[in-house]
Amino acid sequence: MTQIKEASLRAVRASDIKLIRKWWADSRVMTAVGFPNGLQASEAEVWTSIAKHQAVDFSDFLIILDEAQRPIGEFHYRQVSDNSATFGIKIGDYASQGKGYGKAALLKGLALIQTNPALKLLEIQVAADNLKAIGLYEKLGFVITEKKTDNWTDQLGNLRSTAVMQLKI
């Protein structure tokens, strides 16, 4: 059984962009989200993507820190309707995966999202074959509400399926 690690979240900084770009380029990290070759984004493209995300009301892009305050991943969220939000999480430091940091960061992120009293529902769309993520979300109370078969194409041209998961808050 994986022991829950301590993790914290902080605002993204300009100095994080090189590291985020490295995570996005790592095929081991990005395969589960449809980029088996990683993303080959420039630092400017990474910064633009984050800035667009943060420009939306009740939205943020945060860095996940381990116990030593070392950046190991990213957590982002945004409100998508009057009463619902979505989020994304990635442990970008491959050596830190599978050690409980994802769950710890997810719990912190969900608590942050729940500070908005208007929100009643969280929804995330997960690659249907990402069983580790689906299992984690289910342990936290998310349920699969829809399965979309062959609804998107990954970077290599393979058809992929999606599990839509929701949590009432």
Q: What DSSP assignment string belongs to 40-90?
A: ---HHHHHHHHHHHHTSTTEEEEEEE-TT--EEEEEEEEE-SSSEEEEEEE
Instruction: List the chain pLDDT tens, one digit each, 169 residues.
Output: 456 579 999 999 999 999 999 999 999 999 988 899 999 999 999 999 999 988 888 999 999 999 999 999 999 999 999 999 999 999 999 999 999 999 999 999 999 999 999 999 999 999 999 999 999 999 999 999 999 999 999 999 999 999 999 999 9
pTM for the full predicted model: 0.92
